[in-house]
Structure 1
Amino acid sequence: MSLIVLGLSHHGAPIGLLEAAALDPSSRGRLESTIVGSEHVVEAVVVSTCNRTEVYAEGLTFHGALTDVSEALAAATGVPLPDLQPHLYVHYEDRGIAHAFSVAAGLDSMAVGEAQILGQLREALTRAQRRGHVGPALNTLLQQALRVGKRVHSETGIDDVSRSLVGVGLGVADDVIGPIAGARVLVIGAGGMGALAATTASQAGAASVTVVNRGLARAERLAARVDGSARAWDERTAALVDADIVISSTGATGVVVTSDDVAAALAARDGRPQLYVDLALPHDVDLSVADLEGATRIGLAELGDALSHAGDVPQVREARDIVTGEVAAFLTERSGEAVAPTVAALRSRAQSVVDDEMARLERRTPDLGDAHRAEVQRTVHRIVEKLLHAPTVRVKEMAQAGQGGSYAKALSELFDLDPREVSVVSTPPVIPVTDDEEVGR
């Protein structure tokens, strides 16, 4: 069994490819089903955000799992595998663990240190748990990654360093329409990014914040939180006219703001400029909007360039140090767990031998007093404990040094341990998660 992480992100894939490979929630679930139904994979979790699509998989064999996951990802995204492969990254075992922790801490994000990834990871894990796509290996890994991410945000100043995609996009407003304070903002989409956009704009002193969403009730709830207003989805084109800044992040599969929509809005605004901040993947705002006089369009590609200088500041170094320490601790604990079944089976075998011999003593010496019998039993147990002490300590030490597997195998062979007994101890039960349970509990 081995951990494999395969995916593509803003680090090595063009935005166009990331858009093509983006998956909606239902597609992520179907991809997981395909992967866990393959020959070489037993667990899978798919994470798809505005700057990454990646699969965490627990495989029976490395090469077989890699083939299964690659082919399933290509089929799910509709991107031919030869077009995907040059941009895919693969992390295996220790590197996969380090990657998961770095992602959860926001260190691998386009906006370094952003905290939204925690919610996205939690959502992915919850979905996989409810559908039975995740077992003890990935559940343990991703639960730990979420804990590490929370620790980084609570113990470092990375939140002060990170600039969200929304913040960077609004930072362009000064050059396009003047100060945000007093500007009218239209937010299209009331999901996580939309909520962040509405809140950020409100806190920056926007004159008004209007929210448009496919579900009006959700738009109204978000608007109420920022003292704004909500409009129905089919009113979004009309709402463009009043907006100085339009921020869109809907998760739709097609364009929701066309070039014609923007041209009509500009004509009705008598030359007043507009800024369109497109945070969606695939993009919400027609790319040709950038060619219209009076309109400025900023997408993820431009935002990525603006954030590329986020750099190696002290708070980021501190966060990386925490992640490095957590990875080391996780690996040490996991190596100990890997040999624990062998140790448990060895002690179980020893206890069985003691029980058999004490039963034989009972038959041969029926007149032996209880006190003497108890003393004999204590003596036998002390002998067994002393004999097992050295191999038990040694196997744990070698596990921490990365050599526990071979030593555990030697113990199994020397003491003729039943492989079935060891495997039973090695496989903890999977506890199903119901719809009303939270992943963090």
Structure 2
Amino acid sequence: MNIVVVGLSHKTATVEIREKVAFAPTHMDKPLRELVALEDITEGIIVSTCNRVEIYATTRDIAGGMARIKRFLADYHHIPMETLEPHLYSHHGEAAIRHVFRVAASLDSMVVGEPQILGQIKTAYGYAAEYKSSGIILNRFLHKAFSVAKRVRTETKIASSAVSVSFAAVELAKKIFGDLSDKTVMLIGAGEMCELAAKHFLNNGVRGVMVTNRTFERAVKMAEEFDGKAVNFEELFDHLHKADIVLSSTGAPHHIIGPKDVEEVIRRRRQKPMFFIDIAVPRDIDSRVNKVSNVYLYDMDDLQGVVATNLEQRNREAQKAEGIIDQEIGQFFKWLSTLDATPTIVALRGKFEEVRQAELEKTLANWKDLTPEERKRLEACTAAIVNKLLHQPTSLLKRAGQGGRTDLYVDALRNLFDLEMTAQTTETEELGELEE
């Protein structure tokens, strides 16, 4: 049984293509049922995010299975195959395992180290478990992917530095002030960048948010969103001294805050430090503000420099993460390789146990004067004999499976002992055999 991956991502497809192939997260029952109904596809999971759509599946027919999954994606979304196929990638075996481990660890993300993808894969796995489209192999595989991602985050600093302008502003504020829990943020402007920065600041515990904008209604709307206070733009300098952190992003063609303004604000604050973040282009805040005592001013170039440095650090940490993934691939592939031998091991044990029980019952039927304790000892003795007889062939089969050489031994044992492969080889039995 082979693991295969078929999908597309921000690296191979534009957003226009990705949105056409996306699956609605609240309606996964139908696509998952159709996926595992495909010929020779035994298990399946669908991961659908804004940056990628991927299918993880198991099949004995690698080429045929991947071709059927591609056709499924095209047919399900009513996209001509010739339009979709150039954007698709496919992996099988060790390459598939590596790909999923890298995706879960956020090494394949648009922003390396972002935490959202792991939660999205866990959600996709939850749907597969709910609708019973995953089984022994993908269950084990996804749990291993989750543990790999956790190892990467624990043993590297891949997610420890800010790689967006808005979050870099928060990180700089924390370096200046330390604890942000008693700090107030003033947003000058009500655009997307200000909104995103406000979310980051609130997530990092700031006490409150004030919002001002030339259009007061927009300031009110954003302030309500963050449970903050709206300020009339004309009254900006009446309230600026209340802010510890000021983030400005307006469309003004000239400076709206100069050094004289800030000197007065600092005087009213009794020289308590202030942090100004100017992400407007052209700039809202005169660069000479940075010369005022107890004032820190960063503009867009400063923030992008921080982001670039942090991205370099993340890329260095990503190399460490790749090493972790190399280790984990070997462990999982070793387990996967033993699965071909597992049904034979279970059937062989079952055959010996059947013979043991039959012969023991014959013996006990003619041995009437045995005490319960003696019967128990005889039961244990025969069980021990069977276990010792089976130890060597069982170990040999497992070692052969890890080396990918099971066929010769499996065929020989099946013929020698006339073993039947039945549905009685349950998931629990398989895992139990493999983890002894």
Q: Distance in 2 between matches of 1:207 and 1:163?
A: 25
Q: Determine the C-alpha separation between the residues in 2 that align with 1:220 and 1:73.
A: 43
Matched ranges for 1:191-210 at <5 A: 198-200=198-200, 208=211
Secondary structure at the aligned position of 2:106 is classed as: coil
SS in 1 for 2:58: strand
d(CA) in 2 for partners of 1:209 and 1:46?
44
The code of the aligned residue for 2:4 comes to: I
Instruction: State the distance in 2 between where 1:375 and 1:155 align.
Output: 51
Shift of 1:3: 2.0
Query: Matches of 1:352 and 1:338 in 2, distance apart?
Result: 23
Cα distance change, pair 200–272 in 1 and its aligned pair in 2 (3 A): farther
SS at match of 1:8: strand
Matched, 1:223 2:217: no
Structure with greater Cα Rg: 2
The AA in structure 1 aligned to 2:331 is: A
Kindly state the Cα deviation for residue 5 of structure 1 after the two structures are TM-superposed: 0.9
Provide, for residues 250-275 of structure 1, a one-character-per-residue CA deviation record: whole Å limited to 9, x for no partner. xxxxxxxxxxxxxxxx9xx66589xx
- Aligned residue number for residue 251 of structure 1: none
> Measured at CA, do residues 76 and 60 of structure 1 come closer, stay the same or move farther in structure 2, by a change above 3 Å?
same
Q: How many residues align?
A: 341
Cα 1:317–1:244, aligned 2, differ >3 Å: closer, same or farther?
same
Q: Does 1:184 align with 2:186?
A: no
Give 2:348's aligned residue.
346
Does the aligned pair in 1 maintain the 2:43–2:133 contact within 8 Å? Answer: yes
Question: Is the 2:210–2:229 contact (alpha carbons within 8 Å) kept by the matching residues of 1?
Answer: no
Which range moves more in the overlay, 123-132 or 88-97? Answer: 123-132
Aligned CA RMSD, in angstroms, stands at: 4.3
Query: Secondary structure of 1:341's match?
Result: helix
Q: Distance in 2 between matches of 1:366 and 1:82?
A: 78
The whole-number CA distance in structure 2 between the counterparts of 1:185 and 1:134 is: 46
After superposition, the Cα gap between the structure-2 partners of 1:209 and 1:38, relative to the gap in structure 1 and judged at 3 Å, is: farther
Structure 1 pair 199/348, CA: closer, same or farther in 2 (3 Å)? Answer: same
Alignment of 1:2-401 (within 5 A): 2-26=2-26, 29-59=29-59, 61-160=61-160, 163=163, 167=167, 182-187=187-192, 198-200=198-200, 208=211, 223-224=226-227, 313-364=315-366, 366=368, 380-401=382-403
C-alpha displacement of 1:115: 0.9
Measure how far apart 1:391 and its partner are.
0.8
Contact 1:45–1:55 (CA under 8 A) maintained in structure 2: yes
Distance in 2, Cα, partners of 1:346 & 1:221: 69
C-alpha spacing 1:378/1:141, structure 2 compared with 1 (3 Å)? closer
Cα distance in 2 between the residues matched to 1:125 and 1:351: 37
**Unaligned regions of 5+ residues in structure 1, if any?**
172-179, 189-193, 211-218, 230-242, 246-265, 274-292, 295-305, 430-441
Contact 2:113 2:314 in 1 (8 A): no
Q: Is the 8 A contact 2:186 2:211 kept in 1?
A: no
Give the 3 Å change call, closer, same or farther, for CA 427–181 of structure 1 in structure 2.
same
In the TM superposition, residue 342 of structure 1 has moved relative to its aligned partner by: 2.4
Distance (Å, rounded) in 2 between the aligned partners of 1:364 and 1:68? 61
Task: Give the one of 401, 404, 407 matched to 1:402.
Answer: 404
Once the two structures are superposed, residues 207-260 of structure 1 have per-residue CA deviations (whole angstroms, 9 ceiling, x without a partner) of 6499xxxxxxxx999734xx588xxxxxxxxxxxxx976xxxxxxxxxxxxxxx
Matched residue, 1:279: none
CA deviation profile, 1:391-428 (whole Å, cap 9, x unmatched): 111112122222235433432232211211xx422445
AA of the residue aligned to 1:223? F
Change (3 A) 1:428 1:228: farther
Which stretch shifts more, 103-112 or 322-331? 322-331
Distance change in 2, residues 1:221/1:330 (3 Å): farther
Report % sequence identity: 30
**TM-score (norm: length of structure 1):** 0.63
When normalised by structure 2's length, the TM-score is: 0.64
Which whole-Å CA distance do the structure 2 matches of 1:45 and 1:165 have between them? 35
